[in-house]
Amino acid sequence: MKHPIIALMTDFGTEDGYVGAMKGRILSELPDALVVDISHNIKPYDIRQGAFCLNNSYPNFPDRTVFVAVVDPGVGTERKGIVVKTSQHYFVGPDNGIFSFVTHREGYQASEIMLKAFSEEVSHTFHGRDVFARIASWIGGGKDIKKFLDPLREVVSFLKSPHKNNENEFILEVIHVDHFGNLVLNFQKNDLLGYEDVSGVTLKIKEFELHRIHETFGMVPRGELLLCWDSSGFLQIAQNMGNAAEKINSSVGDQLRLII
Amino acid sequence: MKHPIIALMTDFGTEDGYVGAMKGRILSELPDALVVDISHNIKPYDIRQGAFCLNNSYPNFPDRTVFVAVVDPGVGTERKGIVVKTSQHYFVGPDNGIFSFVTHREGYQASEIMLKAFSEEVSHTFHGRDVFARIASWIGGGKDIKKFLDPLREVVSFLKSPHKNNENEFILEVIHVDHFGNLVLNFQKNDLLGYEDVSGVTLKIKEFELHRIHETFGMVPRGELLLCWDSSGFLQIAQNMGNAAEKINSSVGDQLRLII
Amino acid sequence: MKHPIIALMTDFGTEDGYVGAMKGRILSELPDALVVDISHNIKPYDIRQGAFCLNNSYPNFPDRTVFVAVVDPGVGTERKGIVVKTSQHYFVGPDNGIFSFVTHREGYQASEIMLKAFSEEVSHTFHGRDVFARIASWIGGGKDIKKFLDPLREVVSFLKSPHKNNENEFILEVIHVDHFGNLVLNFQKNDLLGYEDVSGVTLKIKEFELHRIHETFGMVPRGELLLCWDSSGFLQIAQNMGNAAEKINSSVGDQLRLII
């Protein structure tokens, strides 16, 4: 028999027992749940790192997986709790941009979680356990939770679509630096649909100019910068056997030009 | 079908393979076990941190969950191995205070694990794998393990009940400093039962005096100290957007006065 | 019902989402899999640490467990992907020595994974997700994967058998230093079979000379070096309440003499 899958990602670390509390709550609500750890080592409050981690993971999971993502510096303030439903998955967590990649890549319906619909008191400091873990378990178990949800038109996102300057030029942005120093850009494979010849692309960032999109790091000499697709289909700037972010001295938010 | 849950907490880290050994042993003894990680990042030999982590986790787990807690600086010495049974859960591990919160908060029956009842040799250095993982699996599988257990009257604990100086004054102790610098005290919500008006409590620690128990950090100005309940129902001293332990220069074992 | 067990060990850390990607892929291929984390904190590219971690874990797992081990500095180069089958378990990963202990301790059959047999494109940078996770899931699910496998005669190993200088003298090597500073040697209990009296062994390393194999650390005075068996049955040099590697100033690859 297939178990409902609840996949967890937090910035809690494990040593204070808060992750254990969430797991216990899920298994109490949904005894046949399969609880899967994605990460509990997201840098505290680093919503972008969390969003990127989730982006690398979620497309590989089976249909109907429920993801709970808690990187939540605003817990206890007016920030909303939300449920995002795509054609394949459910996502539960704070409305702070943690689902930016999901809503950028997928069609979706969003709902706000209504705290006042909970019959008992909800802690002010631990929505991961008292709100998100429970909502996720109820979704995983196929419960009707309509009374907890209110339709929501817009979800917070830090991801911008690439800006088209003219027919052959995009303004891109660095959206993430991974732990190898690769610079991930807001440009995906399907942003190239409609262009017949993409062999001659040029990317300009600071004093550097890169040509072509390569298949692997090893296709350029050691120490050289290159363009390639990351394993989620985003364009990235890498350095063969090196750290591109350091070499270029670039970081999240930097802009650059792509000429096709 | 509901799987028997075995929840693990250790200070092993994962990179030496000792956690893997325990998981393998559990799944060999009890193939349909659901093994749940609470933490393997407890600071080595830090029994208090482990006890606190377990305290934040265990009350959320379903009935009949078996917890295995291995923070065990005394392995191979005369320290006992124990099983603690409460109305809802089982706890297996060394008798060194790791279950202090459990035995403080719950009614319980304790037993000593008799090493000589094991038919084969037990390693001197790895009771986590050879003793605790197996006892836990057998409990989870509903086996009769009477011959391995001997009733035990007292369990080691580092937690003291709050000392009542007089009708309206308690002497409390700092029992834990969490990683945000919050000072957790040996005083729970139900220690206030019988008092009609608790709005005017005063807590004195060093040169500081705190009034009232607040609902959330945000109810005092940024940088100010406050009293509130932690997510497990213990009284704590926190600083809004800051580190109370540093501000007060206080640590585990410090005493303070609470006047009601 | 017993679920097929897929046990994972990587050097990925969890914060980039690559472990989540592997877990998702496994659960998509084999929905009733029980995915077990051994470690994701192997030091990046440290094949010896990974091999040692796996060695401490795998013998405890039930028959038919499939292990996926990804410490893979050579991904995208000519290094082979392999499946190692022993009488009890399956091992899937790169052919770079990560299974050195397994092939040293067990009878086995090895196969190379044929990348060209995959119908769709395989990423050049993430065989953990696109090759090893899938092969492991198919094995766990009992699928016929003959077309992906080619028999392989030799598997890469960094482990040498102890060299016998003469009837009563072995030349041994330090194969691992664990995080307590214990020096693990390439000598196992069954290397002593055939010797009648082993009470008088002497080990010489640098200016140090150790006599006897002790049962536990506590059998020598605090601070003293000793010989004992580790929890996997390898001979090790330890220091009671100390760090043997520092005291002896020894590390992986050092040679020493054992006289019986």
Condensed to tens digits (0 to 9), the pLDDT of residues B204-236 reads 999 999 999 988 777 888 889 999 988 788 999
Distance between CA C225 and CA C237 in Å, rounded? 7
B183-203 confidence digits (pLDDT tens): 999 998 888 888 877 778 999
Residues C167 and C148 in one domain: no
Residues A126 and A145 in one domain: yes
Q: What chain B residue is nearest to C10 in terms of C-alpha separation?
A: B15
Distance between CA B17 and CA C53 in Å, rounded? 4
Interface check B229 vs A, CB under 8 A: no
Arithmetic mean of pLDDT, A176-182: 84
DSSP A1: -
Choosing from A119, A152, A185, the residue where a domain stops is A152
Q: Which of B10, B41, B48, B47 is nearest to B174 (CA)?
A: B48
Could you tell me if residue B86 is inside a domain? yes
Could you tell me if residue A158 is inside a domain? no
Q: What chain C residue is nearest to A41 in terms of C-alpha separation?
A: C15
Nearest to B53 among A20, A35, A129 (CB): A20
Contact C17 A217 (CB under 8 A): no
Distance between CA C99 and CA C90 in Å, rounded? 11
> Chains that contact C by 3+ CB pairs under 8 Å?
A, B
Could you tell me if residue B169 is inside a domain? yes
What pLDDT band is residue C143 in, cutting at 50, 70 and 90? very high
Q: Which of C121, C119, C124, C140 is nearest to C26 (CA)?
A: C140
Torsion of CA A133, A135, A138, A140, to 10 degrees: -70
Residues C134 and C221 in one domain: no
DSSP-derived 3-state class of residue B21: helix
Per the structure, the count of domains in chain A is 2
Cβ–Cβ under 8 Å, residues A178 and A250: no
**For the residues of B65-106, what is the DSSP string, one character each?**
-EEEEE--TTTTSSPPEEEEE-SS-EEEEESSSTTHHHHHHS
Residues B30 and B146 in one domain: yes
> Chains that contact A by 3+ CB pairs under 8 Å?
B, C
C48-100 confidence digits (pLDDT tens): 999 999 999 999 999 999 999 999 888 877 899 999 999 999 999 999 999 99
Distance between CA C153 and CA C103 in Å, rounded? 12
What pLDDT band is residue A1 in, cutting at 50, 70 and 90? low
Interface check C19 vs A, CB under 8 A: yes
Q: What chain C residue is nearest to A1 in terms of C-alpha separation?
A: C32
Look up residue A233 and give its two tokens. 């289909």
Q: Which domain holds residue C176?
A: 163-259
For residue C121, the tally of other CB atoms under 10 A from its CB is 7
pLDDT of C25: 97
> Considering only residues 45 to 84 of chain C, which have any Cβ-Cβ distance to chain A shorter than 8 Å?
76-77
* Chain A residues close to C23, C-beta within 8 Å: 7, 36, 38, 57, 60-61
Residues A97 and A195 in one domain: no
- Spatial neighbors of A1 by CB under 8 A, at least 6 apart, are A32, B1, C1, C32
pLDDT of B94: 97
Decide if pLDDT at A124 tops 80.
no
Look up residue C230 and give its two tokens. 């580790």
Residues B172 and B222 in one domain: yes
Could you tell me if residue C158 is inside a domain? no
Quote ipTM for the complex.
Answer: 0.88
Residues A54 and A133 in one domain: yes
Nearest to C27 among A59, A61, A216 (CB): A61
Torsion of CA A17, A19, A23, A29, to 10 degrees: 90
Q: Would you put residue B183 in left (φ > 0), alpha (ψ -120 to 50) or beta?
A: beta
How close does chain C come to A121, measured CA to CA in Å? 33
Residue A77: give its domain's CATH number. 3.40.50.10790
Counting Cβ atoms within 10 Å, is residue A58 exposed (0-12), middle (13-18) or buried (19+)?
buried
Residues C48 and C124 in one domain: yes
What pLDDT band is residue B240 in, cutting at 50, 70 and 90? confident
The phi, psi pair for A228, rounded to 5°, reads -155, 170
Choosing from A132, A152, A172, the residue where a domain stops is A152
Q: What chain C residue is nearest to B77 in terms of C-alpha separation?
A: C218
Q: Which of B54, B36, B45, B41 is nearest to B15 (CA)?
A: B41
Residues C22 and C120 in one domain: yes
Residue A171: give its domain's CATH number. 2.40.30.90
Residues A122 and A213 in one domain: no
For residue B34, the tally of other CB atoms under 10 A from its CB is 23
Residues A114 and A195 in one domain: no
What pLDDT band is residue A167 in, cutting at 50, 70 and 90? confident
Residues A179 and A218 in one domain: yes
pTM of whole model > 0.80? yes
Interface check B33 vs C, CB under 8 A: no
What's the whole-number average pLDDT of chain B?
92
Could you tell me if residue A157 is inside a domain? no
Nearest to C55 among B17, B77, B123 (CB): B17
